[in-house]
Amino acid sequence: MSSNKYGLDLGSDTIKVYIRSTGAVIKEKNLIAKKRKDIVALGDDADFLMGKVSDNISISCPLRKGVIADLSSVGTIMTHALKKAGCSKKLLSPNVFYLAVPSAITEVEKRAFHSIISESGFNSKNSKIVERPIAEAIGLGIDFKESKGTLIADLGAETTEVSVISMGGIMISRLIPYGSNDINRTIMEVLRTKDHLRIGFRSAEEIKLSFLNQHKEDEDIITYGIDLLKGIPRKAYIDHNLVDRQIQFVIKRINDEINKIIDGIPAEMYSVIRTNGIHLTGGLSASPYIASLIEKGTGIKALTKESPELVSINGLSKIIEDKSLSSMAFTISESEFE
């Protein structure tokens, strides 16, 4: 009996699902909206409610800094996404899932990701785990089995995973607790403390994207929030330089960690990486300005790819389709993960 195969990338911002039967990739926001213990909305529907509902409805992502904080909620959102992808729970329709996970997490945390699949009820006994840096290297089209030094920085929503791959294996991988969402939080905090303006997370995201997409230094960014001194709504003009400082604040911390990793690798490997550049993936790396900050902070050219947020799921699709790459996927019990 043939199996239905799916690639799964559970990001802190978005869940991506590759469907082998159609070759399609679907995306669903990794969010759950609850009123007390009752689920109000999931995925994209929960994202639509952001900033539009009262305080008695909480909207959150069940992943925290790259690891699972709420196993039940992650399973619920994943099930929602898989149903959208047409995945069946029928006994006569066995499924095989290839799940990308961070390399720089513990064995217990990897097992938590795997348990979501095994306990999902999707008839998925033979599911596999792929370490995300490997999936990304394959998605980037890098001959990582022959490379003597490849550095990949995955700039995600909650974390940045920095990995050095050499001769087919992961030499170093670190999960840095800074990502795109931290820029939003710093914008919210500085407006609260300096301008006495309270804005929501979605408004901070819009301010950040407005800056990164337009990057016009002579134009302020318009937003709306609550005046904390008067308790009433207020229109505000956000200075371009204020936003820039918050972005640089977060990227500097990412650069500091990248430089620590670079300082600890052999000179020959550093020479190869310096020649080949740093490969940037993840949604934040879509901005040329972010790439320029990485280059400036590390002294190494930063390379980006179109649709960088899809690099990992594209790598999973290649592993599923190409039998010569099948050894890159493991069951959680196999010794290669220990």
**Per-residue pLDDT tens digits for 16-40:** 999 999 999 999 999 999 998 899 9
Q: Where are the domains of the chain?
A: 4-134+325-337, 142-178+247-310, 180-245
Q: Which helix (H) or strand (E) holds 297?
A: helix 288-298
The pLDDT value given to residue 324: 94
The pLDDT value given to residue 221: 94
For the chain, the C-alpha Rg in angstroms (whole number) is: 21
For the chain, what is the total number of helices (H) and then of strands (E)?
10, 18
Does 4-134+325-337 match 180-245 in CATH topology? no
**Per-residue pLDDT tens digits for 269-288:** 999 999 999 999 999 999 99
The pLDDT value given to residue 2: 66
- CATH architecture of the domain covering 142-178+247-310: 2-Layer Sandwich (3.30)
Burial of 202 (0-12, 13-18, 19+ CB in 10 A): middle
Phi first, then psi, for residue 101 (nearest 5°) are -130, 155
- Has this prediction a pTM greater than 0.75? yes
The pLDDT value given to residue 133: 96
Q: How far apart are CA 136 and CA 160, in angstroms?
A: 13
> Which DSSP letter does residue 123 get?
-
128-131 and 95-101 beta bridge pairing: parallel
Task: Please tell me the class of the 180-245 domain.
Answer: alpha beta
Whether the CB-CB separation of 11 and 102 falls below 8 Å is answered with: no
The pLDDT value given to residue 185: 97
Listed as ranges, residues in the chain with pLDDT below 70 are 1-2, 91-93, 125, 215-218, 332-338
The pLDDT value given to residue 91: 64
Task: Please tell me the class of the 4-134+325-337 domain.
Answer: alpha beta
